[in-house]
């Protein structure tokens, strides 16, 4: 169905305003013509979280003066808790 069949005649005769590229941009306060303005603050990158330690054996844990390691604590591994009690490297 053509547009003229459903639109009022006044709508069809209304001219459409067209702006030239960049015509409606505000002037750059820094005086440059760049689209990137110097007044934009870039956020600092978030500090990286310290990774959880990975222990290969309970001997390594005890040599570092750590242990026992409870389930949910950094460094806990089911590998270090063979009896499945939730406590790794308990003496």
pLDDT digits (tens, 9 = 90+) for 20-52: 776 766 666 665 555 555 556 677 888 888 888
Residue 31 counted as domain residue: no
Tell me whether residue 63 is in a domain.
yes
Q: Which two tokens stand for residue 84?
A: 């499945």
Report which secondary-structure segment, H or E, holds 87: strand 87-88
Whether 80 is covered by a domain: the verdict is: yes
3-class DSSP assignment, residue 69: strand
Q: What would the mean pLDDT of 42-66 be, rounded to a whole number?
A: 89
Closest of 58, 62, 83, 86 to residue 72, by C-alpha: 86
Residue 42 is assigned to a structural domain of this protein: no
Q: Is residue 7 part of a domain?
A: no
- Tell me, yes or no, whether 81 lies in a domain: yes
Domain that holds residue 84: 52-91
H/E stretch holding 70 reads strand 69-70
- What's the whole-model pTM score? 0.47
> Which of these, 91, 88, 90, lies nearest to 53 by C-alpha position?
88
Tell me if 23 is assigned to some domain. Answer: no
Domain count, the chain: 1
């Amino acid at each position: 169905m053509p547009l003229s069949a459903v639109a009022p005649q006044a709508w069809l005769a209304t001219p459409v305003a067209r702006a030239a590229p960049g015509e409606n941009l505000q002037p750059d306060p820094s005086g440059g013509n760049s689209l990137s303005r110097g007044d934009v603050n870039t956020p600092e990158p978030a500090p990286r979280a310290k990774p959880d330690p990975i222990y290969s054996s309970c001997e390594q844990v005890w040599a570092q003066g750590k242990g026992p390691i409870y389930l949910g604590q950094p460094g806990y591994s089911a590998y270090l808790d063979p009896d499945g009690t939730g406590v790794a490297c308990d003496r």
